[in-house]
Amino acid sequence: MTRILLIDDDTELSSMLDEYLAVEGFRIDHAFDGKQGLSKALSSQYDIIVLDVMMPELDGFEVLRRIRSESSIPVLMLTAKGDDIDRIVGLEIGADDYISKPFNPRELLARLHAVLRRTQNSLRHEDNDYVQQIGLLKINPSSRAAFAKGQALDLTSTEFNLLHTLVKQVGKVVSKENLSEHGLGRTLEKYDRSIDMHMSNLRKKLAQYGLGQMLITVRGQGYQLSNEI
């Protein structure tokens, strides 16, 4: 059974989601404030975390920052409807995806499946048997690890999937639609900046090792991983 940690102070919503997702084969553990949620997130084994932004004690952004300092567990953030700033900040900090409140439980279920699918099952068996290296960048699909100049890159699950998608098509321009399908596990939505934010985070992490220039933005088309340093 898939274990979810739901960190949200809305007890009515939490109860409703508990009933709905239990029928779908999920087991939910609840936390009703940021401190409790952070403690559970770092001390227990979950498959995914659903984290609200507006929280007592610690807000969702601070909880996410502290989770990301120790764990790459997938995190789906709940943001205020139409609040682009919350979405952008969440993605910058390391959220894997977001959904706006209020939402249809079926949409949340679809997003959960998408995140879990790309985290656990997105790589085909034949991709898992070899390490791929482009210049000073190396990626190991079987262990879902990436290295820059021999140093491990601290990537979220989504960042790894996006990098792996680019590595498999090195030297070619990969559209945002393609990246969304393979990296986020869903179709690209209109005005969705998720891919751009994840790519910005990925470029910053590569830049720490002098490899930021490998990730090229092709305006109006998508992104390209260069095999030239």
DSSP tally for the chain: helices H, then strands E:
8, 12
Query: Which structure tokens are listed for 55?
Result: 């929280």
70: left (phi over 0), alpha (psi -120 to 50) or beta: alpha
As a whole number of angstroms, the distance between CA 179 and CA 185 comes to: 9
Q: Give every residue of the chain whose pLDDT is below 50, as ranges.
A: 122-127
The confidence score (pLDDT) of residue 132 equals 85
The confidence score (pLDDT) of residue 217 equals 95
As a whole number of angstroms, the distance between CA 180 and CA 103 comes to: 21
One CATH from 3.40.50.720, 3.40.50.2300, 3.30.70.270, 3.10.180.10 for 2-120: 3.40.50.2300
Contacts of 73 (CB under 8 A, 6+ apart): 41, 46, 47, 48, 49, 67, 157
**DSSP assignment of 105-155, as one string?**
HHHHHHHHHHHHHHHHT-S-GGGGGS-EEETTEEEETTTTEEEETTEEP--
Classify 99 as helix, strand or coil. strand
Q: With 0-12 CB in 10 A as exposed, 13-18 as middle and 19+ as buried, what is 193?
A: middle
The confidence score (pLDDT) of residue 26 equals 94
The confidence score (pLDDT) of residue 172 equals 93
The confidence score (pLDDT) of residue 121 equals 56
The confidence score (pLDDT) of residue 131 equals 79
Contact between 229 and 213 under an 8 Å Cβ cutoff? The reply is yes
As a whole number of angstroms, the distance between CA 75 and CA 115 comes to: 9
CATH architecture group of domain 125-225: Orthogonal Bundle (1.10)
The confidence score (pLDDT) of residue 204 equals 94
As a whole number of angstroms, the distance between CA 216 and CA 229 comes to: 12
- CATH 3.40.50.2300 maps onto the chain at 2-120
Contacts of 155 (CB under 8 A, 6+ apart): 72, 146, 163, 202, 205
Among 157, 179, 191, 194, smallest CA distance to 225 is for 179
The confidence score (pLDDT) of residue 129 equals 52
- CATH 1.10.10.10 maps onto the chain at 125-225
Q: What is the Rg, in whole angstroms, of the alpha carbon atoms belonging to the chain?
A: 18
